[in-house]
Structure 1
């Protein structure tokens, strides 16, 4: 039973760190330690170590030396590849959502956007970028595409820290295209919803590339 509990705890810690990466609570090049995670999560080091090993295999974390584990800084090529994949998949999901959503789903999307705007106006950028990610995932959920959501979760595991770090540094608005996507959903216009989602991803490209270039990592 103790072994089962340990495995379950390791899974829970893995899921928690994944969530922190997806939501951008951990930023590119941020150092991650077993002890620090264990203290923050109130657990022993063994299940944390197991979770970190899984994240290293996922390439969601990188190990530069025995005592230096970090959130990776994507290369420009890696970022552009993932952005291109997201552009197609999330554009498809937005179009599908526009065909399917009802008033309840629209209200949920609007509430997320309102919270995003309020957080940005108040300068609470960690919350603003969290709501940004929540909107993207809520749209896929509204499209009733759980397999696609699992695929996108893997992409956001690597993209979340980069997106969050960029928007928090530049303090740019996050919701213009989101509002247009909601309007397209209300109008049952899948082509417009897909186009706005692609534009949402495209608009950030140049800025995120500059953000990637701003990192100087000592060898």
Structure 2
């Protein structure tokens, strides 16, 4: 069964709705973004969630000490890195690491076999944005078998997620803007997205 992460959660009510609707994980963005939240808010969200929902912190080129402090304060269960973090950086943590790869060409997926990340997040390349583009990449570039579990991101919506799963069969899907309306999480879209993914099981 494909796992589901709803990213860019900014309040307790939306986090609890995601859990109730069937999401496996929520993403809390600590990097500069319209979806960025402060540590105090993230701590409240993490404390309110049921025990089996993963709490994933999203960072971009943040120093190791700050990541450790935030993860311990909030009770994060995994770390997702969307910047230029190298393998040595990713080896610095005891929590599972998800490393984002911004896919522009097939060669971007080379050299992952020895990477310390537990999984790779395949996202859309953008020259200035680290994520949250709302645009899918060419899924054909990722159809070859990869040595790590794949979390598919980038432009997923309730309308296209079944096609994406059918083509790539990822371990998980990661959605943010695709379940928003005017920059806010839309519960009807969240439910529709989760329902579409579950129909693929």
The interval holding the TM-score normalised by the smaller chain is under 0.3
The structure that is helix-richer by fraction is: 1
Which TM-score applies when normalising by structure 2?
A: 0.26
Which TM-score applies when normalising by structure 1?
A: 0.24
The structure that is strand-richer by fraction is: 2
Greater relative contact order (Cα < 8 A, sep 6+): 1
Larger Rg: 1
